[in-house]
Amino acid sequence: MIKIAKMIVPALILACSCTASGQTRNTPAQTAPATEQVGPASGQPAQPASRRAARPAAPAPVTAQAEPMRSTAADRQAVEVTIYNSDLGLVKELRNVQIGAGEGELQFIDVPALINPVTVHINPLGATPDFIVLEQNYEYDLISHAKLMDKYIGRTIQIMEWNQYQDRQQIVEAELLSAANGEVYRIDGQIYLGHPGIKILPELPGNLISRPTLSWIYRSRSGREQQLEVSYLTGGMNWSADYVLMVSDGHDRAGLSGWVTVNNRSGAEYEDARLKLVAGNVNRVRPRNNMRRVEAMPMAAEMDMADAGGGFAQSEVFEYHMYDLQRPTTIKNNQTKQISLMEAQGVTVAKEYTTTSAPFGFRGRHGEPGPVRQPVITFFTFKNSRDNQLGDPLPAGVIRLYTADNQGRQQFIGEDRIIHTPRDEDIRLRAGEAFDIVAERTQINFQQLSAQRHEMEWAVTIRNRKNEDITVGILESAHGTWEIRESTHRHTRIDANNFRFDVPVGAGKEVTVRYKIRIGI
| pLDDT for res 147 | 77
d(CA 111, CA 267): 8
| pLDDT for res 291 | 43
Question: Cβ distance 321 to 363 under 8 Å?
Answer: no
d(CA 345, CA 109): 47
Average pLDDT of the residues in 53-67: 48
Average pLDDT of the residues in 200-206: 81
Q: List strands edge to edge, sheet with 69-71.
A: 69-71, 102-109, 213-220, 132-139
d(CA 186, CA 440): 79
Collect all residues with Cβ–Cβ distance below 8 Å to 160 and sequence separation of at least 6: 17, 169, 170, 171, 172, 197, 198, 200
Among 4-13, 250-259, 278-287, 474-483, the least confident range: 4-13
d(CA 25, CA 18): 7
What percent of the chain is predicted at pLDDT more than 90?
A: 55
| pLDDT for res 384 | 97
Question: Cβ distance 143 to 26 under 8 Å?
Answer: no
Residues paired with residue 383 on neighbouring β-strands, in sequence order: 426
Question: Is pTM beyond 0.75 here?
Answer: no
d(CA 405, CA 251): 12
Angle 497-504-418 from CA coordinates, rounded to 5°: 55
| pLDDT for res 507 | 97
Question: Cβ distance 95 to 71 under 8 Å?
Answer: yes
Q: Give the CATH fold of the 350-381+427-520 domain.
A: Immunoglobulin-like (2.60.40)
Q: Is 8 exposed, middle or buried (0-12, 13-18, 19+ CB in 10 A)?
A: exposed
Residue 49 identity: A
Say which residue, 103 or 50, is predicted with more confidence.
103
The DSSP letter of residue 165 is T
pLDDT confidence bin for 368, thresholds 50/70/90: low
Q: Is 39 exposed, middle or buried (0-12, 13-18, 19+ CB in 10 A)?
A: exposed
| pLDDT for res 312 | 87
Q: Which of 169, 186, 166 is nearest to 177 (CA)?
A: 186
Angle 340-345-351 from CA coordinates, rounded to 5°: 110
What percent of the chain is predicted at pLDDT more than 70?
A: 79
Element (H, E) at 445: strand 437-450
Average pLDDT of the residues in 79-103: 93
The helix/strand/coil state of 63 is: coil
Among 210-219, 320-329, 458-467, the least confident range: 210-219
Output the average pLDDT for the chain: 82
